[in-house]
Chain A
């Protein structure tokens, strides 16, 4: 098998500097929005005392998932023996690092006191998933970095070992992220042992979708050749991961719906929750999962780059919706102070709360994506991340 060659991109064209400027501007939106929120107080966001976690947390969870997903893809060749994906392993590992950095930004800048950044590293509370995740996330960033270094230096065995450890840590990191919500035993829609594995399934599907889009875009813009068959096999992989996501959603909701005590919560999500119900059926199940899955698993559309790209975009946005549905509705539903009684109060007890995404949160979320893209186009200029070409035939 011919050895894959990696080169830096030239990065001197007008288009490059144009992209550099646009993504750089977008990336600036994140710290600027965070500063705006910090100076004014969180009342400028959509968060309330009823819904303390809003879009920034949705984005954080999403970015962590995409990071874990791309890391698994990066390790596909060295850990899982899928040699045909070798050309993408560097850029996938790079994306994994950038995504987790953006996720950490999302979390930290969403705090009421981001100025107390270092405190979670000074104090340790073993029962807090946030405390554990602070350790897991930092270890993960470090390990991904070392793994990328090993790939650059062709460390063979060490690369494989690091790959295995990084995949293991990625799974742990994202299980930990799922557990943030899954462990909240007081909210019916959060508390579930399935959240961690379901998070990983969605991480893999959205990570694959993101890689398809990034590979196609980067190779096209840099004039490098990528064999369409590689895109199609990634798409098929995405289809399989989507089936797993669907399965988890099915089992989780059915199990929950069985218990009479959960009737109110489940019917809110599935039938009379207004925008949340629409998001669930149309946004997530229809547009985010079933349609893209059908596109990529259909032998005809699955072999059309255009269709595959459409499916990847749908899936990418579908998983944002999935995270939104996981994070927001459980907070919107009132807490059951008395499960057998109807309650009201001046603190809006017993009422369905509302969460309206504010403009500044949207800027903030776009900014986080800007951080990833800006980091990516800077890094592919600085280091040889991209293969000169990616051929399917290179297989043994």
Chain B
């Protein structure tokens, strides 16, 4: 048998049509929903965010990370590949430069305005609260881990072991559940009662005090003022995810 030209053409056209219709439709709906957003410059207003001055962030200081682990009962699996990280210190140095200085910054979930994790979640377990916090509903998460693959910032961890709730120090946070994905939630249980996230509190108490948390508010001298100045930058702003955590001094 030989596949004659007409058949091959037919096959090709069917394949090409099918290939394009699906993804094209979804992509277009994404773009059009973006276009419908009214004045996207205002989208930050009244959302929670953070500005971190990394000149105040000492490479050997770990107080934000320690505070987070304590506050959120983060277990120690003693296995770097499986350990859960809500916030971590990232050390970095310039590429293509001889003998660059090593510096560091704390990285957590950046609570993106356009979060890829929420977009890929098949069950809307990851969602954005009205105040901009990206949350995971651990009772709805099916543990497919698509969000972990899609997150550009490695902000997410999978609970791959059972954790005994009796070992938890802080009763204010929900009991950890195995088989789901979790991440930093800006200590939502604290900010809802008017406190700063644990990392920010610890940064001011024991660290360099470089972390500044608050709402992007039009009329005060908080984080929006710093961001307006133009010296604060997001990580991987090129991806268009629009993180709500900004860094000064990178």
* Chain A residues within 8 Å of B, Cβ to Cβ: 38, 41-43, 47-50, 52-53, 72, 80-82, 84, 107, 110-114, 116, 119-120, 122-123, 125-132, 134, 167-168, 171-172, 175-176, 179-180, 182-187, 190, 193, 196-197, 200, 229, 233, 236-237, 240, 331, 335-349, 353-354
- Contact A131 to B123, CB < 8 A, known contacts A171-B18, A346-B80: yes
Whole-angstrom distance between the alpha carbons of A310 and B97 in the complex? 53
Nearest-Cβ distance from residue B120 to partner chain A, whole angstroms: 5
Closest to B8 in A: A240
Closest to A186 in B: B152
The answer to whether B18 touches A175, judged by C-beta atoms less than 8 angstroms apart, is yes
Whole-angstrom distance between the alpha carbons of A277 and B57 in the complex? 40
The answer to whether B15 touches A171, judged by C-beta atoms less than 8 angstroms apart, is yes
Whole-angstrom distance between the alpha carbons of A84 and B7 in the complex? 14
Tell me how many residues of B have a C-beta within 8 Å of chain A: 72
- Contact A120 to B122, CB < 8 A, known contacts A112-B180, A184-B149, A186-B150: yes
The answer to whether A197 touches B7, judged by C-beta atoms less than 8 angstroms apart, is no
The answer to whether A347 touches B154, judged by C-beta atoms less than 8 angstroms apart, is yes
11 A–B contact pairs at CB < 8 A?
Answer: A41-B161, A41-B179, A43-B82, A49-B81, A111-B144, A130-B120, A167-B14, A236-B2, A338-B250, A344-B90, A346-B80
The answer to whether A80 touches B80, judged by C-beta atoms less than 8 angstroms apart, is no
**Contact bitstring B1-37, A, C-beta under 8 A = 1, else 0:** 1110001001100111111011100100110000000
Nearest-Cβ distance from residue A355 to partner chain B, whole angstroms: 10
User: Contacts of B161 on A, CB cut-off 8 Å?
Assistant: 41, 43
The answer to whether A43 touches B142, judged by C-beta atoms less than 8 angstroms apart, is no
Number of A-B contacts (CB under 8 A): 229
User: Contacts of B200 on A, CB cut-off 8 Å?
Assistant: none
Closest to B139 in A: A116
User: Contacts of A113 on B, CB cut-off 8 Å?
Assistant: 141-143, 179-180
User: Contacts of B159 on A, CB cut-off 8 Å?
Assistant: 41, 112
The answer to whether B107 touches A337, judged by C-beta atoms less than 8 angstroms apart, is yes
The answer to whether B158 touches A49, judged by C-beta atoms less than 8 angstroms apart, is yes
Complex partner residue of B140 from A116, A183, A345, A354, CB under 8 angstroms? A116
The answer to whether B149 touches A127, judged by C-beta atoms less than 8 angstroms apart, is no
Interface residues of B in 158-185 (CB under 8 A from A): 158-162, 178-181
- Contact A119 to B142, CB < 8 A, known contacts A49-B157, A186-B116, A237-B3: yes
User: Contacts of A53 on B, CB cut-off 8 Å?
Assistant: 145, 149
Complex partner residue of B123 from A107, A114, A120, A171, CB under 8 angstroms? A120
Given contacts A134-B122, A346-B89, 16 further A-B contacts (CB under 8 A): A43-B161, A49-B81, A49-B157, A110-B144, A114-B142, A119-B140, A123-B140, A125-B122, A127-B30, A129-B120, A132-B26, A184-B116, A186-B236, A187-B149, A200-B15, A341-B95
Interface residues of B in 73-89 (CB under 8 A from A): 77, 79-85, 88-89
The answer to whether A38 touches B179, judged by C-beta atoms less than 8 angstroms apart, is yes
Whole-angstrom distance between the alpha carbons of A339 and B80 in the complex? 23
Whole-angstrom distance between the alpha carbons of A178 and B239 in the complex? 21
Whole-angstrom distance between the alpha carbons of A368 and B157 in the complex? 27
User: Contacts of A349 on B, CB cut-off 8 Å?
Assistant: 88, 90, 154
The answer to whether A335 touches B153, judged by C-beta atoms less than 8 angstroms apart, is yes
The answer to whether A111 touches B142, judged by C-beta atoms less than 8 angstroms apart, is yes
- Which residue among A47, A49, A116 has the maximum number of chain B CB atoms within 10 Å of its CB? A49
Complex partner residue of B119 from A116, A128, A193, CB under 8 angstroms? A128
Interface residues of B in 15-63 (CB under 8 A from A): 15-19, 21-23, 26, 29-30
Whole-angstrom distance between the alpha carbons of A126 and B90 in the complex? 34
The answer to whether A123 touches B19, judged by C-beta atoms less than 8 angstroms apart, is no
- Contact A345 to B95, CB < 8 A, known contacts A168-B18, A187-B149, A337-B107: no
The answer to whether B116 touches A240, judged by C-beta atoms less than 8 angstroms apart, is no
The answer to whether B21 touches A111, judged by C-beta atoms less than 8 angstroms apart, is no
Top 4 closest A-B pairs, CB basis?
A112-B143, A112-B179, A171-B18, A233-B1
The answer to whether B153 touches A50, judged by C-beta atoms less than 8 angstroms apart, is no
The answer to whether B22 touches A179, judged by C-beta atoms less than 8 angstroms apart, is yes
- Contact A337 to B236, CB < 8 A, known contacts A111-B143, A113-B179: yes
